[in-house]
Chains A and B, each alone.
Chain A
Amino acid sequence: MSSSSAHTFKEKERDLNTHIESFIAQMKRRQIKGPHDVAIATAQLLLRVVSAARWTHIDQLILQIKVVGRRLQSAQPRELTCGNIVRRVLALIREESEDTSDSESGDGANNSLLITSMFSLLQTDFDNGNSSDNSKGAKKDLKPYIIEGIQELIDELRNSSESIAGKSVEMIHENETILTATPNSNTVLKFLLRAAQKRKFTVLIAEVFPNDIEVAHRFSIKLAEAGIEATVITDAMVYSIMGRVGKVILGTCAVLANGGLLATSGTEMICQCAKAHRTPVVVCTGIYKLSPMYPFDTESLVEVGDTGKVLNFEDGSLVEKVDVVNPLFDYVPPELVDIYITNLGGFSPSFMYRLVLDNYRQEDVKL
């Protein structure tokens, strides 16, 4: 390689660094926010990282992505999708490298049968002969495959709410009353709008005051304009009306490995309420929101927001004396959710662990 190419490589690296820096800054300033936008931005950035990267062994690339991923994630630790996408890309890289080494050693019999992890007690280097030795990752240029993989991932992100919406007709019947409380979810909006093409139904929209009230009101207008019977209710009315609701349909910020989820504050009590009335809770989510994290400490997951929205500064004397709280999220435990509708299909919460195992590698859970 000539010196000029080395030069451009340096430039590229500098270029990349500015991209990363600006991404981090935007995350911190909340210019990129919301699971969907964060996911796409992360994937696009990683695409750049991979295209700019040079490696002699696949582990170097993995390490590099991990380092970048760690930086991105710490920019806004509560935007879990950022870390999810990093892990997805890592899994993708690992898979590509293993695929090639497998095909080189010419032994596909390995995956012919389901292997239970329980056998790990008995299995050893028994079938050592055909396991890949580490130098193989370097033999083939994986870059185009990885880049293709990331592009597919981006496509998946872009299309996920569409494919979720495709399942709406299976979830909503004629004349049903639906309750939703996550007006900031575009996925749910699309879901309902799509269903409205085939079904006539009523949607009750809980306001999620104070944080999402304007969004909620606009959400209701959008539904009404699409010909859906939309009724706005206050958060406090959820219990009184739940007996007449056919299904609760919610969006989410993140789905956790145990099948629980994080969503706008108020959702936990709504799900409880649905449980008390035996009303099914349907959660619409792209797989990209599924995080391999287990909610050990639910309190630390909940972010607290601007208290001025709860108690206006006009009530000045009060604000000084009273401790005002404005939680932004709720953690909803898995037993309160009936089903997840994802771009890969419908799953019960107890099955989400399997999707975690399918999409992420255990070794990447800790970035």
Chain B
Amino acid sequence: MPDAGAPTSASKGSNKPAAPAKEHASESQDAKAARKAEKAARRAQKVTEQGKATAKPSPEAIALARAQKRQQQQQQQQGNGSQIKHVRTGSSSVPSGATTGANASSLSDGNFGISGSGEDLLDKRVSLFKHLDSTKRSGTADASKDIHPAILALTLQIASYTVIGSSARCMATLQAFQAVIRDYRTPAGTTLSRNLTNHLSKQIDFLKTARPLSVTMGNAIRWLKQEISIVSIDVSDQHARDTLIEKIDTFIRDKIEVADRVIVQTAVPQISDGDVALTFARSLVIEQIFLEAHACGIQFSVVVVDSRPFYEGKELVRRLSNAGLKCEYVLISGLSYVMSDATTVFLGAHAVMSNGQLYSRVGTALVAMSAKRKNVPVIVCCESLKFSKEVQLDSVTFNELGSPDDLVNISSGSTPISGPLKDWRTLPNLKLLNILFDLTPPEYIKKIVTEVGSLPASSVPVILREYDRI
């Protein structure tokens, strides 16, 4: 046990600056973190190339990044992991020494409990959600040399929730694609418009090993592939690359940055003096709305409802209170207590399905439901990029699983404390479920504010059709 802990805590020290979740990849700190992650990814790749055969490089590398992010908490769980491993392999290797393929996979078991587990380990998957993790495993991607370092780095950041949030992930992905395109050279005997798409698909498959693609990423990728397919065979490689990179810049600006500004302008008048605006977890555009409304001199206060295990709202409340806004912070179990004071509920989105269902951080549906019951209007603010063509009816058929081990920590502070569940893996019948999203039915939503205007939830498909025509 102690030898399991030592290396992790060392890496924790060195990686501390990378720890806090960053949404904007603009600060130098982020760049540094990205570089570091890139390096780790390269190392992992090299390692697996040596270890060859059954090696599963991506989970291993992800595990490493997670280990860095989750610090001490992880320390304990890896302790567990190695304990279990004792049973299985009889070896006593430690995370940082994960140099062989066998070790890498067993470590990933420790971290990805929900995904593949060894035969003699207890099945810790929640039966209702067994269908969800299969996709993750299939991407065995032997991280061929084709995978661009920028993609490797991003994969790690996404897997460790360093890059979190649907818009942020989309932006970071597009920026990584710019790097991919910049370094891309069309092989002889083919054309860019045919081959680049292929090349990108490989990158995308690798990205998926971290987390499933967000709807924004999917939409952006679809658009990019379309753009690539229409590149004329007559233009030079160089020129085509430059055009694509520029187009990506425009896309980010129009679909996210400008869109956000328009949404903020539309939403701010929804707040008036004396209002109590309530929000859940953290959405970038909601944050901008509150800050802008405050800057306009509107006297209002904000209630931030937050939940385990991400505590995203903490960052929001920090930023808002630093700006001088009057804030109240409550965990979701206290929802009914604060809802009676609220005048408007503002929610962000991960995606909006074409049947008007809002797909967002798990807990959003509860907030919207409570608001509806108390007659508080619910306003969803999101870019139309988040509109999905898919329909969905419940939160079970499609969702994303987080690590169940995240629930073992019972502290609300930054120092994790392992509660009574620290040995949960050894106990048959006991399972932990950590899903990341839920689905809010349209009847709880008063309106959706997008850059193309305010609309009822039922009008999502109208906007989607308009898109297709353009």
The interface of chain A, by Cβ under 8 A from chain B, is 204, 207-211, 213-214, 217-218, 220-221, 223-225, 227-241, 243-244, 264-266, 268-269, 272-273, 276, 299, 302, 309-315, 317-318, 321-327, 330-331
Q: Tell yes or no: B399 within 8 A of A by CB.
A: yes
Contact B330 A237 (CB under 8 A): no
Contact B334 A315 (CB under 8 A): no
Give bound CA distance, A217 to B126, whole Å: 17
* Number of chain B interface residues as a range: 35 or more
Give bound CA distance, A103 to B121, whole Å: 72
Chain A minimum-CB-distance residue to B339: A269
Q: Nearest chain B CB to A351's CB is how many angstroms away?
A: 24
Give bound CA distance, A331 to B339, whole Å: 13
CB contacts (< 8 Å) of B109 on chain A: these are none
Contact B333 A224 (CB under 8 A): no
The interface of chain B, by Cβ under 8 A from chain A, is 126, 128, 307-309, 314, 317-318, 321-322, 326-338, 340, 361-363, 365-366, 369-370, 373, 394-396, 399, 407, 410-415, 419-421, 424, 427-435, 437-439
Is chain B's binding surface mostly helix, strand, loop or mixed? mixed
Chain B minimum-CB-distance residue to A177: B128
Told that A210-B333, A311-B412, A326-B330 touch, could you supply 20 new A-B pairs with CB distance under 8 A?
A207-B407, A208-B333, A230-B431, A232-B433, A234-B308, A234-B363, A236-B307, A236-B332, A241-B396, A265-B334, A268-B335, A268-B336, A272-B370, A315-B318, A317-B318, A322-B328, A323-B328, A325-B329, A327-B334, A330-B336
Contact B326 A213 (CB under 8 A): no
Contact A272 B431 (CB under 8 A): no
CB contacts (< 8 Å) of B318 on chain A: these are 315, 317-318
**Considering the complex of A and B, which 6 residue pairs feature the smallest CB-CB distances, nearest first?**
A312-B413, A236-B363, A240-B395, A266-B333, A240-B438, A224-B430
Contact B419 A217 (CB under 8 A): yes
Query: Which of B309, B333, B411, B424 neighbours the largest number of chain A CB atoms within 10 Å of its CB?
Result: B333
State whether A239 and B421 are in contact (beta carbons under 8 Å apart), knowing that A234-B309, A269-B369 are contacts in the complex: no
Chain A minimum-CB-distance residue to B413: A312
Contact A322 B321 (CB under 8 A): yes
Return 29 A-B CB contacts under 8 Å, by A number.
Answer: A207-B308, A213-B410, A214-B419, A217-B419, A225-B427, A225-B429, A227-B429, A232-B407, A233-B433, A234-B309, A234-B407, A235-B331, A236-B363, A237-B438, A239-B369, A240-B396, A241-B395, A243-B394, A243-B396, A265-B336, A268-B336, A272-B370, A302-B337, A309-B412, A310-B330, A314-B413, A314-B414, A322-B317, A325-B338
Chain B minimum-CB-distance residue to A314: B413
Q: Nearest chain A CB to B362's CB is how many angstroms away?
A: 5
Contact B421 A217 (CB under 8 A): yes
CB contacts (< 8 Å) of B427 on chain A: these are 221, 224-225
Q: Nearest chain A CB to B334's CB is how many angstroms away?
A: 4
Give bound CA distance, A227 to B428, whole Å: 8
Give bound CA distance, A238 to B309, whole Å: 14
CB contacts (< 8 Å) of B322 on chain A: these are 321
Contact A214 B410 (CB under 8 A): yes
State whether A269 and B370 are in contact (beta carbons under 8 Å apart), knowing that A217-B420, A221-B421, A234-B309 are contacts in the complex: yes
Contact A318 B407 (CB under 8 A): no
Q: Nearest chain A CB to B137's CB is how many angstroms away?
A: 21
Contact B128 A314 (CB under 8 A): no
Contact A312 B307 (CB under 8 A): no
Give bound CA distance, A238 to B333, whole Å: 11
Give bound CA distance, A241 to B129, whole Å: 10
Q: Nearest chain B CB to A237's CB is how many angstroms away?
A: 5
Give bound CA distance, A259 to B365, whole Å: 27
Contact B421 A266 (CB under 8 A): no
Give bound CA distance, A210 to B340, whole Å: 21
Contact A265 B337 (CB under 8 A): yes
CB contacts (< 8 Å) of B412 on chain A: these are 209-210, 309-312
Contact B433 A237 (CB under 8 A): yes
Q: Nearest chain B CB to A181's CB is how many angstroms away?
A: 9
Give bound CA distance, A227 to B437, whole Å: 30
Chain B minimum-CB-distance residue to A327: B337
